[in-house]
Structure 1
């Protein structure tokens, strides 16, 4: 099983591409953003709202971990994901533009938007929240570069079965967003 080597620089580059893609999505017509491909599918705005819900569950955990971690300005900034965490990350990561497994979303992660929520003002606020949260992720990745990230773990949003060091958590979150970017491509196709 090949190693999964994580680096802040790679994570920032991927995050920048994602944010740029979401900025271009925000410019789409409301009807494109709010029309699902099937009656039981999410639309683009619901996917973005889901990503907001998901990341919000990590903000405080990441902030607490970063505050606890000692400074470490020496050594490599690359991090090797542990086997179980690698498995969880790879389960989220799309391969060649395809989501490997379609998963049922847990109730607590579902976007609960009504038809009234699907106006331009509300849509823009959902996108604004996405940019705010992912700016937090970017700042957190940058801040982690001079921390000893092996000194504390955070529990995943799905519970204690998965505990991440920060680079693994960042990678999981990025893979999750990349997965949903593929979903958005499918919605708009």
Structure 2
């Protein structure tokens, strides 16, 4: 049987991510911008990528809410559809298969002078996501049946629960990548 999620379980996922993000402020400035190889991303670039991805997903979530009917939930449990459950499982760290990033999600400033800025942006995006989930809970919105378009594959319709869970799994995937990058560079885990 497929796992279901309550509003509070989704908030718990985001709150755990926020705790991890707070740890990123401890990464030394000279380490966060280093790349293990010339063709790989630094920890700072990974954070910038997560911010871009989150921004695209949140934008589509907001569009879904603006254009759709504000359906009320019959219950408090929500479940992504089968294909999205498989995609979420694919994203879960530790991952075995690397994928290429599309242009809109490339890091935007690979020479970031102030590495705390991208970390703060990531924290802010997660706080906004947490606030949205709280609002959905307060309004008792049906996260299974309010749908919007995937930001990349516009012909793919996604429910709010699918947007949120994919966004969250994607960022955990890259948290793991960031940790592996720093471990390779410094021998320390952050």
TM range (shorter): 0.7 to 0.9
Equivalent position of 1:88 in the other structure: 87
Structure 1 residues without counterparts, runs of 5 or longer: none
CA contact (8 A) 1:69 1:148 kept: no
Which whole-Å deviations, capped at 9, do the CAs of 1:66-111 have from their partners, x for residues lacking one? 3544363x642111211122122222122xxx11321111122110
Aligned counterpart for 1:113 among listed residues 82, 105, 109 = 109
Equivalent position of 1:186 in the other structure: 180
CA contact (8 A) 2:14 2:130 kept: yes
- Secondary structure of 1:62's counterpart equals helix
Which whole-Å deviations, capped at 9, do the CAs of 1:11-61 have from their partners, x for residues lacking one? 211211111111111222111211122221111110110011111112232
CA contact (8 A) 2:46 2:174 kept: yes
Equivalent position of 1:27 in the other structure: 26
Structure 2 residues without counterparts, runs of 5 or longer: 184-190
Equivalent position of 2:13 in the other structure: 14
Give, in whole Å, the separation in 2 of the partners of 1:168 and 1:151. Answer: 10
Which whole-Å deviations, capped at 9, do the CAs of 1:98-127 have from their partners, x for residues lacking one? 113211111221103243x2x23xx22212
- Secondary structure of 1:129's counterpart equals helix
Equivalent position of 1:139 in the other structure: 131
Equivalent position of 1:152 in the other structure: 146
Equivalent position of 1:38 in the other structure: 37
Equivalent position of 2:188 in the other structure: none
Superposition TM-score, scaled by structure 1 size: 0.85
CA contact (8 A) 1:69 1:147 kept: no
Equivalent position of 1:130 in the other structure: 122
Give, in whole Å, the separation in 1 of the partners of 2:64 and 2:53. Answer: 18
CA contact (8 A) 1:85 1:162 kept: no
RMSD: 1.9
